[in-house]
Amino acid sequence: MIYRKEKNNISLKEINKKNILKIVIDVGQISRIDISRQLKISRPTTSAYIGELIEEGLVEEIGKSDSTSSGGKKAVLLQFRVRAGYILGVMIGVKNIRIALTDLGSNIIEIIKIPTEEWLGPDAVIDKLVKNIKEIIKKSRINKEEIIGVGIGATGLVDSKKGLVIFSPNLNGWNNIKLKEIIERKIGLPAFIENECRVQAIAEKKYGLAKNIKNFVCVETGTGIGTGVFIDNRLVSGDKGMAGEVGHIITNLAGNRVCHCGNTGCLETLCSTSYLLEDIADEMKKSGSSSRSSKSGLKLEDLYDLYNQGNEIATVNIDKNAEYLGIGISNTIKMFNPELIIIHGEVIKFGEKYLKKVKESVSKNTFPEVKDDYNIQFSEMGDNVGVIGAASIVFNNIFDLDSSSVAGHYIVKKIIT
Ligand SMILES: [Zn+2]
């Protein structure tokens, strides 16, 4: 079955059905009587609308509750039917692309990870992406008609309204790429795109540490540094999708290392993991202390080991990296005053020792009066956080259940199957 949004002639009944659906999705498991109470709609009307939602395949009954209602009968519980449709969630990172097929609850059914090989340029990377999307659909044996859309998180400056990757400092040749249009044309499904860090923040808000947090910042670490910001429960994108580019805040005026964006002195030049790797490999080579760096080239995985083992060159550089990341975080704290900062990406594997250094640096560089008021944590969502967030943007766009103005109401409608 296919769901689509319709904007015209939304009736009160449709608004009520949408509100019922929103409660069922938000609460998880709920009875008809509790929905009727919460929405202040009569019980027979609530039951009739729920009957329609069950027929449309969006809501299902899941047995009786443990407690009894006021009439003494155990109420039948309802829940959102996550298998009412499927979503493709894609994350285009600097090193890897992940493609997942999920249900409407972002549960992963199939997932593949392929190298981005960004040096090939956008055409080749997108062709590879399209080929793999088609393959994952085939492998899953799910009808394409049951997939409601493709959500894509991409590293770089993304204008989600225009469906454009404006510029991606770490992907070769990605300038003004009409990614939404290309994917819709080549795959034949609605596509939605968003910046990588904002996709992670969306995932944290829906499923992760930020579920009940109004103001928070997700910090992506790795080759690039970026943030996804929620203020008062709203994702901050800025006019053209450039908000949160903390990695390119000029932090080192004396710096002469050229950033991936072309400027010098960006925070990214101080705490990108690719520069960290370069610095440690250089120092080891100079000191002649590592056989690893001279043989096959030092890898990030080696750094995790060296840091844990207390290797001196690695420790000095990685601690410095943590300090710079802390400076970046303290800058975002001053800008946005978040309750929670969630760190994502490659530095998580450096572990608690690294996190402690980041926290020390934040304390040192933030207003003394509030220096310890911030909760800074590593993400607990794992490597698939991006595809889960990307799938969530499709769900949020198609179902659009948070829209509260009547003029802005959309309703999910089943069309001919
Ligand atoms: Zn930069």
CATH superfamily of the domain spanning 212-378: ATPase, nucleotide binding domain (3.30.420.40)
Query: How much is the pLDDT for 282?
Result: 92
If you measure from the C-alpha of residue 264 to the centroid of ligand 1, how many angstroms do you get, rounded to a whole number?
7
Fold agreement between 2-83 and 212-378: no
Q: Give 395's contacts (C-beta < 8 A, 6+ positions apart).
A: 87, 104, 106, 148
CA of 140 to the centre of ligand 1 (A): 40
pLDDT at 293 > cutoff 60: no
Rounded Cα distance between 264 and 345, Å, is 23
Q: What was the pLDDT predicted at 297?
A: 82
- As a whole number of angstroms, the distance between CA 177 and CA 159 comes to 10
pLDDT at residue 14 is higher than 70? yes
pTM of the shown model:
0.88
Residue 288 has pLDDT above 50, yes or no: yes
Res. 243: pLDDT tops 70: yes
Q: What is the CATH T-level fold of the domain 2-83, as seen in this structure? A: Arc Repressor Mutant, subunit A (1.10.10)
Q: What angle do CA 315, 321, 324 make, to 5 degrees?
A: 140
Beta-strand pair 340-345/375-378: parallel
Of 35-39, 132-136, 168-172, 291-295, the range with the lowest mean pLDDT is 291-295
Strand 226-231 with 74-80, pairing: unpaired
Edge-first strand listing for the sheet containing 226-231: 234-236, 226-231, 216-221, 340-345, 375-378
What's the CA-to-centroid distance between 266 and ligand 1, angstroms?
A: 5
Residue 278 near residue 258, CB atoms below 8 Å: no
Residues 402 and 22: their CA atoms lie apart, in Å, by 8
Contacts of 316 (CB under 8 A, 6+ apart): none
Separation of CA 78 and ligand 1 centre (Å):
50
Distance between CA 304 and CA 321 in Å, rounded? 13
Q: Please give the backbone phi and psi of residue 85, each rounded to the nearest 5 degrees, phi first.
A: -175, 180
First-to-last alpha carbon distance for the chain, in angstroms, is 5
- Domain spans of the chain, in order of start: 2-83, 85-202+384-396, 212-378
Q: How far is the CA of 176 from the centre of ligand 1 (A)?
A: 18
**What spacing in Å lies between the alpha carbon of 254 and ligand 1's midpoint?**
14
- Residues in the 5 Å CB sphere of ion ligand 1: 248, 259, 261, 263, 266, 268
The dihedral formed by the CA atoms of 358, 199, 302 and 357, expressed in degrees to the nearest 10: 0
Nearest to 95 by CA among 155, 152, 135: 155
Burial class (CB in 10 A: 0-12, 13-18, 19+), 9: exposed
Per-residue pLDDT band at 53 (split at 50, 70, 90) = very high
Give the rounded percent of residues in the chain with a pLDDT score beyond 90: 73
If phi over 0 gives left and psi between -120 and 50 gives alpha, with beta otherwise, what is residue 225? beta
Name residues whose C-beta falls within 8 Å of residue 154's C-beta, 6 or more positions apart in sequence.
91, 92, 165, 168, 171, 179, 193, 194, 195, 196
Q: Is the pLDDT of residue 400 over 80?
A: no
Predicted confidence (pLDDT) at residue 59 exceeds the cutoff of 80: yes
- Please tell me the distance between residue 272's alpha carbon and the centre of ligand 1 in angstroms: 10
Q: 36: how many CB neighbours lie within 10 A of its CB?
A: 19
Residue 372 Cα, ligand 1 centroid: separation in angstroms? Answer: 29
State the fold for domain 85-202+384-396: Nucleotidyltransferase; domain 5 (3.30.420)
